Structures are given as C-alpha cells and as structure tokens.
C-alpha cells in the first residue's frame, strides 16, 4: 500500500490492510541460476526503509536479536550481489552493461581503438597549431627572438599544465563510470550527496551496484561535514546547479566556435598557396565545408571515427615531421624554451604584449574539455596512453618547428604554420590540415551530444530526439535538432566575424568558462568522494583556478571586439536550461502535493466508484510514490476503468547505466482485490530505450507473475514466524527478517543457518523448514492461482496505455517574473520539446490521453 496525500487510514481496517498489503518488493529477474530479492517496508510518509538487503535489523526486537544479528551477518556473506547478466526482462536497453566496455582486446582491436580515439577525442587539440601563434602575435608585432622563445615557453607549459597534468592525469579519473563531461561530474556529486533539487530520490537508488558509494572514513570527518552541509543547504544546491548549467552553456558555445575556428584556419592556407584568394572567398569555402561536416554527423562516431582516424594519425605525423624539418633547417635554439625562465623574461620586457597574448596561448589547450567529455566512447587508459605517447610529442614538435621558423622570419607572424611547410609538401599538408580541421569540429559536436543527453536525463534540458548510431556502443548518439542548431549558429559566427583573430578571442572565453567549472567540480569531488588530503586539494585549486583566471582576464580584455556575442549566446542557453529545470521541479512538487489520498480510494471500494472492464491499463506518470492526481481524471472521464491498473514510472537516476537485473521496483497498491500495482523503471542517463510494445507487454506480465509468486512465498514465511502481526512495527520486523538467496532459496533470519541450509526451500510447506498449516498453505495456493488466472484473462482482453498531460500555470497572486517564466517561457519550451508519447514509443491505436493543469 502506498500512502497518499491524506495518509493511509488510521482505523483498525486501515491497520489490518497495512499488515497484509504494505510490503514493497524490489526484485530482479533470474539470470541463469542467480536471482536476488530485496524486501522493503514503507512508512506513513512514503519513505523507503532499507530492510533485509540493506543490512538493517528487524524493528520488532526479541531476546534472540544478538544471536540473530550474528546469523544475519553470516547470511549476508553468503548472499553476494551478482554482476549484471543478460536477460530478457530489460526490453528498454539494447546492450548489457559491461559487455562491450570490458571486452578483451586483441592487438588488431587495440589498433582500431587507437585510430578511433584519434578521430573522435583528439581532433580539436590536434589542430591548435593552425592558429595559436597567429592569434598570439595578432595585436603586437614580434620585436626580437626572445619574444618568440617567451611565447613558445608559454605554449609548452600551458600544454603540460592543462591538457596533460590537469585533464589527462587528474580530471579523467573523475569520470562517472566511464562518462565524462560537466554533467557526469554533477551526477557523481549528486549520487554521493543528495544535491539534486528534484525531490524524487529513493533510498533504494543507492543500492544500485553502479553507485559504488564510498563511505567517508572516521579520520576524514571533513568529507562527512561537506556532505551534510551540501544536503541541508538549498542555497548550496542551487549554486552548484548554476555552476553546472553555466559550464554546460559554455560547452555548447564552445561547440559553435570550434568548427568555425578550425575550418576557417585550415582554409586560410589557400591564401598562402594562391595569392588571389581573398577573405570573402575563404568565408564562402568555410561555409560550404561546415554544411558538409554537419550533414555527415548522423553517420555515427564509430563509423566516422574509424574512417578519419588514419587521416588524423597522418596529420600528427605531419606536425612532427614539419617540426623536425624546421628545427633542423633553422636551428635548435628553440629547445631553450623548455626553461620556464623565458616566460618571466617575456613578461619583464613586454608586460602588456605578454598579457594580451595569453588569450591566444590558451588556444593550444583547446580540446581538453572535449577530451574529457568524449570519454564515454573510450577507456581512460586508451585516452591517456594515446595523448602521452603520440599526441603530446607531436604537438610539441609542431610548435617547436613553427617557433624555429619565426625566429628567422620575425615579420611573418601570420599564417605561420602554412609558411613553415616545405614547398614540396605544401598542398598535401593543406589537404590533410583541412581534413583534420573537419575532424576536430566533429570531436566537439559529439561531446555536446553526450552532454545534452546527460542534462536531459537529469531534468536540466528539454527533451529532444536522440538517435543511437551504434549497436555495439550504447554511448554513441546523434541529436538531429541540436546538430542543425549548431550548424546555423556556427554559420552565423563565421559570417559575422569573418576572421580567425576575432573568433579566436571568443574561442578562448568559451574554453575558459568550461575549464573553470570543471576545476571547481573536480575540487568538490576531491573533498567529498576521493577524500584527498586538504593540502593537495588546495594546491590543485590554487594552481589551476588561478591559472585559468589569469588567462580569463586576458580574453575578457578583448570582449568588446565582438566576443560579447558569445557571452550573450551562452547566457541564453543558460536561461533555457535553468527555466526548464525550474519548471520541471515545480511540476513534480505540485504533483506530489496533489496525489490522491489512500482514504479516498478505500472509500471508493475495489471498483473505484466505476465499472471495472476486463483489460490492463498502463498509466504512465512521474511520481515514485503515491497515486497521481491524473488518475482521478481518468476515473471521472472514462466510462469504465480497466480491471487491472499498473502505474508505470520512468525514473532517471544519476548513474550512467542501471544494470538490467536492478532496473525495476514493484509495489502493490491497495488490497489484492483492487488489482493495482506500481512499477518503477530506473534508467541511467546512458541507457538505451527502444521498446517493442508487444514484447514489452509480454515481459511485463511475466515479470508481474514472478512478483506475485514471490510475494506469496514471503507472506507464507511471514505467517509462519509472526503469529500476531497487527501492528506496523511487527510488520516491519518480519519483513526485514526474510531474505532470498542468490539461487532463489528463501531464508528466514529467525531460523538458524544450519537449519535453513538443510531445508528444502522448494517445498515451502515442508515440516523440515516451517511449521505451517496445510489448510492455510492450500488457501494461499488457491489465492495465488486465482490471481494469476485473473492476470491472464486481463491480458487477453488487451492492454491500453493511459497517458496524462500535466501542464502548470502560475497562480494569479504570483509575482510577475514567475508568471512570465512559467506561463510563457516554460510553456513554450514544453510545447516545442519532444512529447512523452514519442519518448515512450507508445502505439497510438491503444493510447488514451487526459490533460490536467496544475496551479503553482
């Protein structure tokens, strides 16, 4: 039984009902011979109390509690959680967690993975030599060779500190079970501290094996204090969400600027090879390339990544080869730039010029965030090894070669890369550079797709159509609407700015915005989850946040040149995400407040005040507890109600993947003769949902039958061990003293282990295990058969999907700003986003919809 808004009856009948109907079952489908069950009890407030599987002791209290507790501990050691198994119960995910991520790699497979990593992850950072020195020396001319050495030293140590030290060695380990990006960090924090503003968390969510919670140790009370402070302060929760939304908006803005910058800088090579090409023609060619680029995005990461991987490998070889050639031709004096003192000399001679060049210097680290956000496609080790042994050495050689050329050609500070190419290899390198720039643009776009999916799953972005482009890798996705939105925005930036120097400053703002948010979130993870020494945390925060703020001061100094457009663009995206999250939160809270009282349902009786026609009604709603108010509208609107009602709640939890054998929670609503059930289907933000309605219905019925059988078994155990269980406390005690073993055997914690181990659990009425009455066992069996027969008859009559559309409107007495946000902005977003019916793949021929409006 679930407690509604009015509470669950305080009378004797209510207590009697609670005794027989209040147990909430969380169970899993057998995978081979392995099966796990968990029993939970719910209190009047609807909160879940961990019972057997969570390791809590019974609440009834007895003289044998101490001995029973020792037996509990011994029994828990035997009931070990099994790993994810492939079974037919999960019809909404095409892949089993771990099947592809943890497969064994052969040498050939490793080579293919390396090429895909290059094509997907490192395209952005790999093309930075095309424009870094151009932007650095755009506003001030080079006056001496020492300026070149100082600028080169800045580039070298920026590469070492940000992409290598910060991201490759530290931030990549902050992934959320293989997922990277701003929202993956936020998800990791929400899972370890209840920092989400949406109040739909269940205690049972923390028992998903993907959570991998690490309980803070006694020595590090700091972690506990931070967790408590974060959970109790709504202001800190809002601040954390605002930081995450700001970082996400800058990621999307970065995805707009990256293609414009990369492709235009590559096309600029035509001006070196063909003197008649002007700036306008460069813009037109760039626009054509961008249209082709975004049109090919739908073909998927693995296909395109494998196709362009070899091209990017050739590009990195070209960078290294050209660098070695220029060092050999123009001298090895550039190697002195590894001495960081040249940075100090650079700022001493020309402080203003050095400070203004920081914005251009940062461009050598572009792609660092994409490297983290695209982590979902590959493993941490593959990204780290590829960067350390291939990408970083080639980048350093490329910058050293350009600096060697500049030291002998101080006046040629624009188009440095193309001017430094040997004449014999010019056109092949221009072709490879253009191809690499297109690849770099894809890297950031795929990162945005991953981030948008995570944000949507956590209620921070309007629902959009998501296409999964790979049958083998569930994380590879394509979002059509976002793809074309990025194309239009990118074309607008190219035509408005028309120069890589102006775009470069906007590029730096977007990159730094994301980097600073990542630094703050990783710092929180260090304190809360990793439990790193406070000195190490302060060093990390001081070094990287201070460095990024120093860079940010430089790029903001040039914001008036046109970069403010990007800030406005990011601000609009931020408002869209914040308004959506705010409206979603208000809608959910209102639905919780207005849910139906269980007293009302009890007064209506088992027929619910209407005619119960044969059939099954699947009512989709967002509540994890209680009966939604929209159900009352179905009762008053429809001439009859189905003989069996199942409330289906699709719940997104802050983990990448929910194992298939832990996806579903089932609960009976009201007494048996009501034939009402709740099913909570939990999904991670990386789970794939493609449903076949017929298969879904069949598997749902089979799962319901297994639930009812198991419920009957456990009630039989309760009756054996509890002669008088009229009170709620005794019910909680008995529920918590029943366990189901991994092999499907039933154990009672009130029976000694030796006796339980020797019992024949397949015969629950056996006198060797339990002292039950034969008549009671037969009555229970007949009741079980009758209910299973009722389910079969209802299934044969048909399954109908009941969908309620709940909209919200601000009350008349609300503030003007709230009315504007809810009645217009949020309503506009909700009207134009992907509807729930499309997301759930519900057949239109068996769909019934009812609308409802909530005043907030």
Q: Give the per-residue SS3 of 631-687.
A: HHHHHHHCCEEEEEEEEEEEEECCCCCCCHHHCEEEEEECCHHHCEEEEEEEECCCC
pLDDT at 28: 36
Residues 6+ positions from 680 with CB-CB distance below 8 Å: 202, 624, 649, 651, 664, 665, 666, 667
Question: Is the confidence at residue 765, as pLDDT, over 80?
Answer: no
DSSP assignment string, 511-546: HHHHHHHHHHHHHHHIIIII---HHHHHHHHHHHHH
More reliable by pLDDT, 854 or 32:
854
Ranges 251-260, 687-696, 773-782: which has the least confidence: 687-696
Share of the chain above pLDDT 90, in %: 26
pTM of the model: 0.73
Tens-digit pLDDT profile for residues 516-573: 999 999 999 998 888 888 899 999 999 999 999 999 988 887 777 777 888 899 999 9
Place of tokens 């719940």: 651
**How would residue 760 be classed by pLDDT, with cut points 50, 70 and 90?**
very low
For the residues 808-812, what does the mean pLDDT come to? 90
Place of tokens 């229970």: 780
Most confident of the following: 74-78, 245-249, 495-499, 771-775 = 245-249
pLDDT at 728: 44
Ranges 197-211, 252-266, 459-473: which has the least confidence: 197-211
Residues 6+ positions from 368 with CB-CB distance below 8 Å: 125, 162, 163, 166, 167, 511, 515
Q: Is 90 left (phi over 0), alpha (psi -120 to 50) or beta?
A: beta
Distance CA 303, CA 446 (A): 13
- Average pLDDT over the chain reads 76
Q: Are the CB atoms for 656 and 626 separated by under 8 Å?
A: no
Question: Is the confidence at residue 729, as pLDDT, over 80?
Answer: no
Place of tokens 């057997």: 52
pLDDT at 211: 53
Question: Is the confidence at residue 738, as pLDDT, over 50?
Answer: no
For the residues 106-134, what does the mean pLDDT come to? 76
pLDDT at 230: 87
pLDDT at 551: 92
pLDDT at 650: 80
Question: Is the confidence at residue 577, as pLDDT, over 90?
Answer: yes
For the residues 393-410, what does the mean pLDDT come to? 93
Distance CA 655, CA 189 (A): 11
Coil, helix or strand for 376?
helix
Place of tokens 């009350």: 811
Residues 6+ positions from 301 with CB-CB distance below 8 Å: 116, 120, 377, 446, 469, 470, 473, 476
Coil, helix or strand for 855?
strand
Distance CA 206, CA 299 (A): 37
pLDDT at 232: 86
Closest C-alpha among 681, 623, 200 to residue 631: 623
Question: Is the confidence at residue 647, as pLDDT, over 70?
Answer: yes
Distance CA 828, CA 840 (A): 21
Q: Are the CB atoms for 195 and 460 separated by under 8 Å?
A: no
Distance CA 13, CA 97 (A): 45
**How would residue 399 be classed by pLDDT, with cut points 50, 70 and 90?**
very high
Closest C-alpha among 628, 668, 744 to residue 25: 668
Residue spans of the domains in the chain: they are 114-196+222-558, 586-717+780-855
Tens-digit pLDDT profile for residues 216-247: 454 467 788 888 888 888 899 899 999 999 99
**How would residue 86 be classed by pLDDT, with cut points 50, 70 and 90?**
very low
pLDDT at 65: 42
pLDDT at 623: 80
DSSP state of 145: H
Question: Is the confidence at residue 2, as pLDDT, over 80?
Answer: no
pLDDT at 545: 94
Distance CA 259, CA 442 (A): 8
Tens-digit pLDDT profile for residues 287-331: 999 999 898 887 765 555 556 778 888 999 999 999 999 999 998
Question: Is the confidence at residue 792, as pLDDT, over 50?
Answer: yes
Place of tokens 């703002």: 509
What per-residue string of b and e applies to 790-804 under the rule 16 or more CB within 10 Å gives b?
Answer: bbeebbeeebbbbbb
**How would residue 773 be classed by pLDDT, with cut points 50, 70 and 90?**
low
Instruction: Classify 114-196+222-558 by CATH class.
Output: mainly alpha
Question: Is the confidence at residue 394, as pLDDT, over 80?
Answer: yes
More reliable by pLDDT, 109 or 175:
175
Distance CA 242, CA 195 (A): 12
Q: Are the CB atoms for 383 and 524 separated by under 8 Å?
A: no
More reliable by pLDDT, 532 or 43:
532
Distance CA 562, CA 372 (A): 28
pLDDT at 64: 42
Tens-digit pLDDT profile for residues 191-216: 788 777 765 555 555 555 555 555 54
What is the sign of the dihedral through the CA atoms of 383, 168, 504 and 343?
A: negative
**How would residue 838 be classed by pLDDT, with cut points 50, 70 and 90?**
low
pLDDT at 841: 67
Question: Is the confidence at residue 345, as pLDDT, over 50?
Answer: yes
Instruction: Locate 270 and state its tokens.
Output: 């035509």
pLDDT at 318: 94
What per-residue string of b and e applies to 638-659 under the rule 16 or more CB within 10 Å gives b?
Answer: beebbbbbbbbbbbbbbbbbbb
Share of the chain above pLDDT 70, in %: 73
Instruction: Locate 411 and state its tokens.
Output: 């006046």
DSSP state of 34: B
Give the containing element (helix H, strand E) for 739.
strand 738-740
**How would residue 505 be classed by pLDDT, with cut points 50, 70 and 90?**
confident
**How would residue 141 be classed by pLDDT, with cut points 50, 70 and 90?**
confident
């Amino acid at each position: 039984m679930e407690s509604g808004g009015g509470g669950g009856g305080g009378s004797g009948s209510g207590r009697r009902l609670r005794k027989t109907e209040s147990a909430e079952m969380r169970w899993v489908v057998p995978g081979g011979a392995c099966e796990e069950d968990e029993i939970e009890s719910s209190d009047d407030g609807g909160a879940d109390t961990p019972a057997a599987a969570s390791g809590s002791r019974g609440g009834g209290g007895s003289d044998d509690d101490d001995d029973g507790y020792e037996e509990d501990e011994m029994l828990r050691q035997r009931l070990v959680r099994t790993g994810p198994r492939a079974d037919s119960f999960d019809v909404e995910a095409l892949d089993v967690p771990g099947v592809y991520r943890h497969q064994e790699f052969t040498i050939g497979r490793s080579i293919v993975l390396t090429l895909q990593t290059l094509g997907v992850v490192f395209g952005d950072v790999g093309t930075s030599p095309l424009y870094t020195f151009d932007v650095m020396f755009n506003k001030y001319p080079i006056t001496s060779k020492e300026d070149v050495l100082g600028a080169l030293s800045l580039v070298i140590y920026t590469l070492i500190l940000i992409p290598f030290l910060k991201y490759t060695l530290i931030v990549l380990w902050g992934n959320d079970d293989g997922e990277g990006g701003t929202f993956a960090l936020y998800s990791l924090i929400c899972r370890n501290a209840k920092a989400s503003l949406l109040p739909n968390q269940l205690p049972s969510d923390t028992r998903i094996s993907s959570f991998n919670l690490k309980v803070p140790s006694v020595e590090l009370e700091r972690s506990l204090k931070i967790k408590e402070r974060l959970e109790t302060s709504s202001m800190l929760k809002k601040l954390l969400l605002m930081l995450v939304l700001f970082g996400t908006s800058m990621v999307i803005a970065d995805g707009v600027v990256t293609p414009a910058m990369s492709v235009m800088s590559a096309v600029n090579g035509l001006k070196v090879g063909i003197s008649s090409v002007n700036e306008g023609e460069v813009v037109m060619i760039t626009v054509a390339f961008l249209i082709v680029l975004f049109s090919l995005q739908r073909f998927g990461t693995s296909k395109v990544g494998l196709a362009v991987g070899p091209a990017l490998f050739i590009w990195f070889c070209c960078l290294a080869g050209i660098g070695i050639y220029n060092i050999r031709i123009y001298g090895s004096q550039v190697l002195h730039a590894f001495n960081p003192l040249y940075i100090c000399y650079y700022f001493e001679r020309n402080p203003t010029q050095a400070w203004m060049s920081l914005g251009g210097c940062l461009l050598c680290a572009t792609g660092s965030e994409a490297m983290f956000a695209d982590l979902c496609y590959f493993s941490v080790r593959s990204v780290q090894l590829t960067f350390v042994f291939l990408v970083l050495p080639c980048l350093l050689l490329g910058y050293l070669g350009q600096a060697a050329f500049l030291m002998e050609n101080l006046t040629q500070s624009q188009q440095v890369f193309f001017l430094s190419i040997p004449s014999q290899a010019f056109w092949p390198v221009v072709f490879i550079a253009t191809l690499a720039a297109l690849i770099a643009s894809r890297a950031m776009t795929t990162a945005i797709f991953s981030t948008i999916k995570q944000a949507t799953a956590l209620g921070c972005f309007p629902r959009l159509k998501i296409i999964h482009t790979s049958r083998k890798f569930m994380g590879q996705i394509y979002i059509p609407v976002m793809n074309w939105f990025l194309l239009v925005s990118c074309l607008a930036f190219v035509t408005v700015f028309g120069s890589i120097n102006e775009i470069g400053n906007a590029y730096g703002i977007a990159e730094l915005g994301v980097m600073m948010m990542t630094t703050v979130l990783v710092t929180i993870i260090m304190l809360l989850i990793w439990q790193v020494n406070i000195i190490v945390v302060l060093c990390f925060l001081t070094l990287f946040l201070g460095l990024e703020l120093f860079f940010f001061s430089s790029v903001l100094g040039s914001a008036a040149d046109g970069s403010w457009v990007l800030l406005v663009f990011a601000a609009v995206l931020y408002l869209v995400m914040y308004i959506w999250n705010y409206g979603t939160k208000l809608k959910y809270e209102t639905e919780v407040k207005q849910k139906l009282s269980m007293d009302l349902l009890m007064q209506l009786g088992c027929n619910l005040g209407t005619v119960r026609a044969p059939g099954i009604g699947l009512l989709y709603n967002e509540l994890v507890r209680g009966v939604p108010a929209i159900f009352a509208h179905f009762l008053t609107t429809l001439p009859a109600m189905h003989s069996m009602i199942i409330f289906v709640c699709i719940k997104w939890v802050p983990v990448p993947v929910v194992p298939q054998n832990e996806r579903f929670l089932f609960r009976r609503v009201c007494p048996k003769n009501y034939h009402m059930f709740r099913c909570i289907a939990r999904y991670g933000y990386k789970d794939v949902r493609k449903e076949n309605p017929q298969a879904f219905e069949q598997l749902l019925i089979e799962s319901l039958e297994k639930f009812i059988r198991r419920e009957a078994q456990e009630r039989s155990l309760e009756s054996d061990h509890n002669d008088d269980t009229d009170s709620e406390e005794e019910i909680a005690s008995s529920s918590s003293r029943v366990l189901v073993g991994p092999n499907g055997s039933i154990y009672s914690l009130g029976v000694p282990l030796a006796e339980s181990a020797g019992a024949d659990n397949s015969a629950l009425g056996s006198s060797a295990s339990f002292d039950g009455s034969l008549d009671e066992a037969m009555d229970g069996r007949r009741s079980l058969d009758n209910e299973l027969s009722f389910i079969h008859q209802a299934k044969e009559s048909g399954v109908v999907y009941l969908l309620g559309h709940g909209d919200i409107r601000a009350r008349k007495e609300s503030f003007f700003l709230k009315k504007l946000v809810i009645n217009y902005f949020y309503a506009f977003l909700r009207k134009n986003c992907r509807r729930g019916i499309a997301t759930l793949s519900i057949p239109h021929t068996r769909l019934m919809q009812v609308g409802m409006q909530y005043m907030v």
